[in-house]
Amino acid sequence: MGLRQFVDKIKPNFEKGGKLHAFRSVFGGFETFLFVPNHTAKSGSNIHDCFDSKRMMIMVCLALVPALLFGMYNVGLQHYSAAVATGALAAMPAFWSVFGYGFLAVLPKIIVSYLVGLGIEFTVAQWKGEEIHEGFLVSGLIIPMIVPVGTPLWIIALATAFAVIFAKEIYGGTGMNIFNVALVTRAFIFFAYPSVISGDAVWVATDSIFGLGADIDGFTAATALGQAAVAEAPAFDMSMVWGFIPGSIGETSVVAIALGALILLGSGIASWKTMLSVFVGGGLMAWVFNQIGNPENAVAMMPWYQHLALGGFCFGAVFMATDPVTSCRTECGKYIYGFLIGVVAILIRVLNPGYPEGMMLAILLMNLFAPLIDYYVYQSNISKRAKRAANSK
Amino acid sequence: MSLFSKQNMEALKTPLGMNNPVTVQVLGICSALAVTAQLKPAIVMGLSVTIIVAMANVIISLLRNTIPNRIRIIVQLVVVAALVTIVSEILKAFAYDVSVELSVYIGLIITNCILMGRLEAFAMGNSPWPSFLDGIGNGLGYAKILVIVAFIRELFGSGCLFGIQVIPAWCYEHGYINNGLMLMPPAALIIVGCIIWYQRARHTELQEEQN
């Protein structure tokens, strides 16, 4: 029996009068997840793209996969390098145990984030008798990728619940949120439990998992930005581009993120205007700080390409700034929005030593301003056309 | 009219629930954010405001027929400022620690919107006894919200209640961490928002009409 037949066979149970009617939105959610819904408009003329938001979300998830896989490998790599450096292990194991360690360290985080987020979404949809929205598919994968490997699962669960309820559901659910849900999760952890997401003890896993790896005592490793904030910036080398450095799980590798960016741009989901202008804004701001030149501030003296390669800059620019819900909708607004994200991110990095990484706060801040930017783009267009109409009379 | 007529009791009771100064009239939010990181200062603040609103209401109510309309705000302010100064001095004399903790916020009761709101809306048009009850009711309605917010913030923010550790040590040994966000003013805003959400979900008549 094919999947389609099976779905059709159990469908009557969920329709009005069926015994499982109470779970109709859960069923509807799974049905449309598996098959493109064949709902058609009954009246009027509509032009509709078959590429609905579920397909779009799945494309974004695919684009996240390279960074996720690399992140898992890097978690294992950082762990084993630390084990070898401290003498807990004699030599580096084979590729698959390095990857396996990272996989086992990251997988629980993904499961927890999806369980909590989708649990809340399903409950709310069921309760309000609405269809289940697909927005959390992407957020749920991004959340584990933007936290350090040391973040406890209960904190991820709590932060995800907070973000889904207070950043999404109270605004009206998927597509209505002002702030990027995954970033609100991170911001919640950042302000509520700063000890698990900053400092130099959280970026490298120090426990063995199911016999893989080793227990390492007292090992600390700061991120490159963390080092630059308190002392001297490490010199630029290619490991910062490949991503073999400590950092949040999915953010370290520029190359893996670039692969994701190609998928997003190729399928037309993300706007190249936003993405490009984030990099231009960030690069320009970093260059300005280089020119001002303050030898006492190591972050200010970091070259612009190093600024763009380190921390969450690339990940934020590719996957978060381009979020179609929370970014600007007007084409001209996208340039302004992206440019200001880059500028503010570097400003926070350089001028506030308390926050070594400014990307999260920069994007959240500009999320807030996106509707305002759109409003002024509309207004200027209206007045331009009004003027043209007046002149042509 | 009897002292505890239905009307008078309503002046006392509605501010505690259906016409709460914080959650329904949305007044006095600033101090609700500032002093609710712990229970003790929140209770002291709530009681101080209750006493000051009640007394100011009585005094203004007694003077209401003699105050020229054009300078009524100045008169109200003088009365409130005098009462605030008295309360502040009493706190300094008998509860110095708490008064240091509350620092400027006792003085800032003068600017608490609940005070001017009640004086303008109630005391200027009612006799002293109902005004007194209205002041007590609004003060306690304010204090009630402060205590709820402070309870949540102190419990989850520092694991204490009234400064006494209530979350046991084994929780911390198993990885529990106090929520630092609860110690910051935004947490109070979110909690007050949740209380308003709960109240309006239960009493749909409080919801504004959708246009």
Residues A251-276: pLDDT tens digits? 888 999 999 999 999 888 888 999 99
Please give the residue that has the higher pLDDT: either A33 or A253: A253
* CA–CA distance, A248 with A204 (Å, rounded to integer): 9
Across the interface, whether the CB atoms of A195 and B177 are under 8 A apart is answered yes
pLDDT of residue A46 exceeding 70: no
User: Is residue B52 less than 8 Å (CB to CB) from chain A?
Assistant: no
* Environment class of A267 (CB within 10 Å of its CB; exposed 0-12, middle 13-18, buried 19+): middle
pLDDT of residue B122 exceeding 60: yes
Cβ-contact A263, A62 below 8 angstroms: yes
3-state secondary structure of B26: coil
User: Is residue B68 less than 8 Å (CB to CB) from chain A?
Assistant: no
pLDDT band of residue A170 (cuts 50, 70, 90) is confident
Across the interface, whether the CB atoms of B184 and A191 are under 8 A apart is answered yes
Q: What is the dihedral of CA A334, A340, A343, A348, to 10 degrees?
A: -130
Mind telling me how many Å the CA of A265 is from chain B's nearest CA?
37
The mean of the pLDDT values for chain B is 84
* CA–CA distance, B107 with B103 (Å, rounded to integer): 8
A127-166 per-position pLDDT tens digit: 877 777 777 888 899 999 999 888 889 999 999 999 999 9
User: Is residue B121 less than 8 Å (CB to CB) from chain A?
Assistant: no
Residues of A in contact with B179 (CB under 8 A): 192-193
A67-115 per-position pLDDT tens digit: 999 999 998 888 888 888 887 777 778 888 888 888 988 999 999 999 9
Mind telling me how many Å the CA of B208 is from chain A's nearest CA?
16
User: Is residue A305 less than 8 Å (CB to CB) from chain B?
Assistant: no
3-state secondary structure of B175: coil
Report pLDDT for A36: 65
Residue with tokens 């000890």: A195
Cβ-contact A382, A371 below 8 angstroms: no
Cα distance from N-terminal residue to C-terminal residue, chain B: 42
User: Is residue A152 less than 8 Å (CB to CB) from chain B?
Assistant: yes
* CA–CA distance, A270 with A147 (Å, rounded to integer): 23
Nearest to A191 among B175, B180, B197 (CB): B180
- In order of their start, the domains of chain A are 3-34 (no CATH), 53-379 (1.10.3430)
3-state secondary structure of B20: coil
* CA–CA distance, A387 with B19 (Å, rounded to integer): 51
* Environment class of B22 (CB within 10 Å of its CB; exposed 0-12, middle 13-18, buried 19+): buried
> Which residue in B has a C-alpha nearest to residue A187's C-alpha?
B181
Residues of B in contact with A192 (CB under 8 A): 179-182
A350-390 per-position pLDDT tens digit: 888 778 788 999 999 999 999 999 999 999 999 999 999 99
Residues of A in contact with B197 (CB under 8 A): 170
Token pair for A323: 């979020």
Q: Please tell me the number of Cα atoms within 13 Å of A157 on its side-chain side.
A: 9
Nearest to B181 among A152, A191, A195 (CB): A191
User: Is residue A196 less than 8 Å (CB to CB) from chain B?
Assistant: yes
pLDDT of residue B19 exceeding 90: no
* CA–CA distance, A174 with A255 (Å, rounded to integer): 30
Mind telling me how many Å the CA of B144 is from chain A's nearest CA?
24
Cβ-contact B146, B32 below 8 angstroms: yes
The mean of the pLDDT values for chain A is 84
> Which residue in B has a C-alpha nearest to residue A167's C-alpha?
B190
Across the interface, whether the CB atoms of B175 and A194 are under 8 A apart is answered no
Query: What share of chain A in percent tops pLDDT 70?
Result: 93
Mind telling me how many Å the CA of A280 is from chain B's nearest CA?
33
ipTM of the complex: 0.82
User: Is residue A195 less than 8 Å (CB to CB) from chain B?
Assistant: yes
Q: How many CB atoms lie within 10 A of CB A370?
A: 23
Q: How many CB pairs under 8 A join A and B?
A: 19
